[in-house]
Structure 1
Amino acid sequence: MTSLALPIETSRLILRSFERGDFDALCSYQLLPEMQRYLEWPVWNETDVATGLNLMRTQVCLHRPGDTLSLAIVRKGDLQLIGQASLRWSDATAGQGEVRFALNPRFAGNGYAIEAVGAVLDLAFDHFKIHRVFARCDGHNHRAAKLMQRLGLRLEAHYREHALFQGEWDEELHFAILDREWRRSGKIREMHAPRVA
């Protein structure tokens, strides 16, 4: 795939590579008990956050299937890191990708997540020429499910009680959108068009 110049800018956000100095900002939300079930990998303590940060610092482009691009979500006004988003190239032959995100709950309800994920979908379809992007979320994460639907992703599967998490049955929702469907939707891109810096 083609190389990518970072950062990416939207109207209110900067999506950039992770840096060593992001540790405290990541701890501020990744260590919250209410966030643990929604993160990409288990985070129980500061060592886990540091391990994840070191991994995300290396995930700067998509060169081959299995690669992940991890982006820090930063507010333009105060340059505060408020979350993370990633795009994984899951299958080259079928042109499949997966988007994931997590936002510090302190900043929820301001439209930052939809702006950031919309920019990642733009990257997936317009820059990396991915054909289909899917996203997963916990069945109890109603905000994430609503966000996917607002972005035009359709619910394709609901896995009931498919895994145990801290002694409780976990449910997972799978959403997806095709490149041509994203191009038709256009509404999110008009609101928060990303600019490559």
Structure 2
Amino acid sequence: MVRLKTVSGCWSGRVGACTDCDEPALFLEDEWCTEDQKRLNALKGTRASVLRVVGSDPAELETFAPDMFPALTFHPSAWNGIGSLQGDRGELRDALIHHLGVLNDSVVQLWEMESETLARQSALGAMGVVASPENGNTRRNSGAMAARRFVFDGQIVSCEWHTKLRPNINRIYFSVGQRPPRESEGDDPIDTVFVGAIVDHLT
């Protein structure tokens, strides 16, 4: 367990005042935190740092995505449709960070705890993310389903779930699964969230 102080410390573990970050959301109330919570706080700090160096173009996030969202596995073409997103670029950037952050921080555990669609949607909604799987019409459309299948290192993954940055447009298509371990990760498969596409809307 790690003791984090509201004033004397932050996600970085530093003691005393710090001018590197002025994001109040990163400072926690005086409470006992697990190592997992400490890791999540560090990720929030990384995201806040990126916000200070990137512009309003959400496409700039791709470079920093591995550090900001290490539990996500992005398809090589996942960011290709970023230019199709509609709306204010700064707002899109912030929404992407929030949605991808929730996928990174919570969805693997959520999928383990909840198997019902409505329960998953309710939990995501409580975190400020509207999401759903594809409906029956889309599933019956072979062309549409083909557009939602992505190959990750030889593994075919169907990304039917999607978060909705706006009610009728701007989607992040994802699937929860496992990927092969990297050299430093041992021998067991790694739980991950596959991100197939970030785009206005797949057909």
TM bucket, shorter chain: 0.3 to 0.5
Tell me the TM-score normalized by structure 2. Answer: 0.32
More helix per residue: 2
Determine which structure has more spread, i.e. the larger CA radius of gyration: 2
Query: Going by fraction, where is strand more abundant, 1 or 2?
Result: 1
**TM-score using structure 1 length:** 0.32
